[in-house]
Amino acid sequence: MRRTLTMAVVAAALLVPGGPLPMAATGSVAGAAPAATVAAGRWTAREARSFWTAERMASAVPLPSVHPAPPEPVDPAPPAEPEPVDPAPPAEPEPVNPVPPEPPTLPEPAPGATPVPDATPAPPPVVTEPLPAPSASPAAAPTPTPTPAPAMKPGPTRTAPASVPLPAPAPPVVPHLPALTTGIGQNFDGIPVAGRMFLVKGGGAYFCTASVVSSPGRNLVLTAAHCLLGSDTQQVAFVPKYTKAKPQPYGMFPVVRDAAGRSRIWIDPRYRSRGVDRAAALDVAFAQVGPDARGFPVESVVGGNRLVTGAGYAHARITLIGHPSSAARPRVCANRTTKFTSSDAQIPGSFLRINCTGYPGGTSGGPFLNRYDARTGTGDVVGVIGGWKTGGDRTDTSYSSYFGVDIRKLYEKAVAGAKAAR
C-alpha cells in the first residue's frame, strides 16, 4: 500500500549512485550500465540482473502515496508484549457456492534450447511438488574425421561429449514462520513464493510486493494494479524472497515486453480510466515474467499460490505477507478478515479488511493467503494489499479488492495472453 513516504523522503531515497534514473527512451535508462540499455522488445533475466544491482534494489522506495501515512521505523523488532488489535466487525458468512480453486496444472516444457547455466547458481528452490526439468533436446556433437599422419596408422575416431540439460530445480527449503500473535506483524526472512516487484517510473526506482500465482504457463505473478499503472513503467522485474542481506536467493524474473517495448501487464481497463479511487474495487494486476538466467519459469523454481475467487469476505485465518518500505526483510502476520463497505462515494465498493500491525508503503500487492501450508510455503490467494485508499491510510489495517468474477476474468485474460506470447 502506498502510504508511507512524503515526497521529500522519496526524492532523497531516489539518489542512487550516479544520481536519479531519468528515462532516456523506451526500454533504457540514462546513466545505467551499458548492459542495462536494451532493445525495446528485449528484457531478459541477464539484462534485468545487470540493471537491478543489489545497491539499486536497496535504494528503491515505494511509489509516492495519494493517501500518505506517517513513516515507519526501520526493521522494527517484534514488541515485547502483544499489542491490542483493533476489534474487527463480526465475520460475515461465506457464500454458499464459492468458486473452487484452480485445478493443479502440469508443467509446460521450456523453449527448445538447452538452458544456459547462470553465472551465480541459485540456492535450492521450493515448489508445491517436485517438477520435471524443462525439456531440452541436447544436440549431438559432430564426430570429427581423423586425418592420418605421414607414415603412421590412423588414430581412433573421437566423439565430443554431448551437452547435458540442467536438472530440474530442487524443491526450495521453506523456512518456518515465527510464532505469530494474532494481529501482530513480525519481520522474518520471507517465503520463496512472495517477493519484491522492482520497476522504474518517472525516472525513479520503486518497488511493491508481489507473489507467484499458479497458471498453465507457470509464468504469472500477482500484485496491486496501482503499483504498475502508467505507460512509463519500465525495467520491471520480480525477485522472490528478497531481503537486503540476500537480494537474489532465487534469481530474478523479468516482466516480459512485447515488440513495442511495453511490459506485459494485465489491469482492468476500468481501473485505468476511472482511477485508483473510483475503481478501487479493481486494484489487481497480473504480469507475465520470463524465465530466470538458467531458463526455468518462476513457478518451477519457487512454486505458486492457487487463485481463489468467490470465496467471500470473512476468513478465519489469513496469512499476510508484505515488504515494508524501510525494512530490510519482509513482514508476516495472521488474523481473520472481515467485510468493509466504503461509505465514501468517491471510493465505492466492498473490500476485505484485516488488522495487522506494521504494514506501510511497499507492502502493496502483498498476498492474503488462506489455508497457508507451512510445508510448501503456499496457500490460496484471496486478496492482495490494495483497494480502498490503495490499501488503507493506517499501517495497522490493510484492505484488498474482493476477488470475484471480474478478477477471475482478468486472470483468464492474462493466462490467454501469456500463452499467445510464447
Mean pLDDT by 10 residues, the chain (422 residues): 42 36 35 39 89 96 68 45 43 43 44 42 41 40 47 46 62 87 97 97 94 98 96 94 96 94 95 97 98 96 98 98 94 98 97 97 97 96 98 97 98 94 72
Which pLDDT score is estimated for 418?
93
Which pLDDT score is estimated for 21?
45
Cα atoms in the 13 Å half-sphere on the side-chain side of 272: 10
Cα atoms in the 13 Å half-sphere on the side-chain side of 376: 18
Which pLDDT score is estimated for 227?
96
Alpha helices in 52-115 (DSSP H): 54-59
Q: Dig out the grid coordinates for 306 from the structure.
A: 492457487
CB atoms within 10 A of CB 101: 18
Which pLDDT score is estimated for 376?
94
Q: Of 175, 189, 181, 190, nearest to 80 (Cα)?
A: 181
Which pLDDT score is estimated for 164?
54
- Write down the pTM of the prediction: 0.72
Q: What is the DSSP letter of 389?
A: G
Residue 412 has φ and ψ, to the nearest 5°, of -65, -35
Q: Which segments within 101-252 are labelled E, that is strand?
A: 186-187, 194-201, 204-213, 220-223, 234-240
Which pLDDT score is estimated for 173?
80
CA angle 306, 310, 316 (to 5 degrees): 75
